[in-house]
A = this chain, B = another copy of it.
């Protein structure tokens, strides 16, 4: 595939579709939305408004870090604080599908609908990739960013059209194009992080306290596994608890699952064969998180497991 031509074609296509109108896009800092941001700014310049929605479900210090990277490239990004909206939409929900729907609905019909109205944008640029579409259509997983493919008419529902410049690429293709488009390596090689972010890393209810636990575990896992070159690594907080001992007393503690996988396109994955030194070190750090007394390593390839838990 001619990736240079792909870039030119997509920029031309965005220009043509948007015409003289304005567009908007949400940047998460992952490679997909980062590439869309770059393509969109080349096509539209100041007519593209790029926002970073702080959903309270991002990694620690993520909003400021991502804004800084794009500022260095001359692309302005606004941070939108939507933490309260996401947290209240998720309160009390434990069913994975309901949680995903709450995130999708809050993102598109609440937070985005308002931004679109304010800005007068007629189009939303979106980082959907081929694997997202395939898995959603196959019924494996409802990706948060799949709308038209599951029958949501965005113009009727939300008041804007959706443009998906990456929908013919898989993750490996996105990384090549991102590199070619001049994105820095820390974005090009960034491990995938799902749109509903830490909400997909929590089995059971999403609460500020539980977000804090899984966030702390995510920091540890990313620090410890950055040098593995693995495709993706993550920490999951289970809803189950297990007995343990703290200060010689019984503690009914929380359980963190660590997952680290090898893959090229996320369609299939094998488990990274970490050394025991590394596994022990991760466990030691994880069980120092307040209330956590178990650390498990996921041994399951995809299939039969998916990469994420919900």
> Are A294 and B283 within 8 A (Cβ)?
no
List chain B residues, Cβ under 8 A from A282. Answer: 299
B297 pairs with A296, CB closer than 8 A: yes
CB proximity to B under 8 Å, residues A255-310: 257-258, 271, 273, 276, 279-280, 282-283, 287, 293-306, 308-310
Q: A249 and B140: CB pair below 8 A?
A: yes
Q: Please tell me the size bucket of the interface on A.
A: 35 or more
Write out the residue numbers on chain B whose beta carbons fall within 8 Å of the beta carbon of A276.
273
> How distant is the Cα of A138 from the Cα of B246 in the complex, in angstroms?
11
A242 touching B287 by the CB < 8 A rule? no
Instruction: Check if A195 is an interface residue, CB within 8 A of chain B.
Output: no
> Interface digits, A103-141 against B, CB 8 Å rule (1 contact, 0 not)?
000000000000000000000000000000000001111
A203 CB contacts on chain B under 8 angstroms: 240-242
Q: Mark out the residues of chain A between 216 and 254 whose CB falls within 8 Å of any chain B CB in the assembled complex.
A: 238-246, 248-253
From A268, which residue of chain B is reached at the shortest CB distance? Answer: B245
B293 A296 Cβ-Cβ under 8 A = no
In the complex, which of the residues B138, B250, B252, B293 contacts A300, with contact meaning CB atoms closer than 8 Å? B293
Across the interface, do A250 and B139 meet the contact criterion of CB distance under 8 Å?
yes
CB closest chain-B residue, reference A257: B296
| Residue of B with least CB distance to A309 | B242
Asked whether, in the complex, the Cβ of A252 is within 8 Å of the Cβ of B96, the reply is yes
Whether a CB of chain B sits under 8 angstroms from the CB of A215 is no
Q: CB within 8 A of A245: which of B271, B298, B304?
A: B304
CB distance from A252 to the nearest CB of B (A): 7
User: Which of A204, A280, A301, A306 lies at the interface centre, i.e. has the most chain B CB atoms within 10 A of its CB?
Assistant: A306
When C-beta atoms are compared, the residue in chain B nearest to A138 turns out to be: B248
B-chain residues with CB within 8 Å of residue A138 when the two chains form the complex: 248-249
Q: How far is the CB of A72 from chain B (nearest CB, A)?
A: 37
CA–CA, A303 and B279, complex, Å: 17
Given the contacts A140-B248, A245-B140, A287 and B306 also touching, CB distance less than 8 Å: no
Nearest CB on B from A92, distance (A): 18
Given contacts A239-B240, A299-B279, A310-B243, contact A293 B304 (CB under 8 A): yes
| A300 engages B295 (CB within 8 Å) | yes
In the bound complex, CA of A86 to CA of B71 (Å)? 65
Q: A239 is contacted by which of B239, B244, B299 (Cβ under 8 Å)?
A: B239
Chain B residues with Cβ below 8 Å from A309 are 242-243
Return chain B residues, CB-CB under 8 Å to A308: 243
Residues of B within 8 A of A279 (CB): 299
User: Could you tell me the distance in whole angstroms from the C-beta of A90 to the nearest C-beta in chain B?
Assistant: 17
Is B299's CB under 8 angstroms from A299's CB? Answer: no
Query: Can you list 19 A-B pairs, Cβ within 8 angstroms, ordered by A?
Result: A138-B248, A139-B249, A140-B249, A141-B243, A239-B239, A240-B240, A242-B306, A242-B310, A243-B309, A243-B310, A244-B300, A253-B305, A282-B299, A283-B300, A283-B301, A287-B304, A295-B298, A296-B297, A296-B298
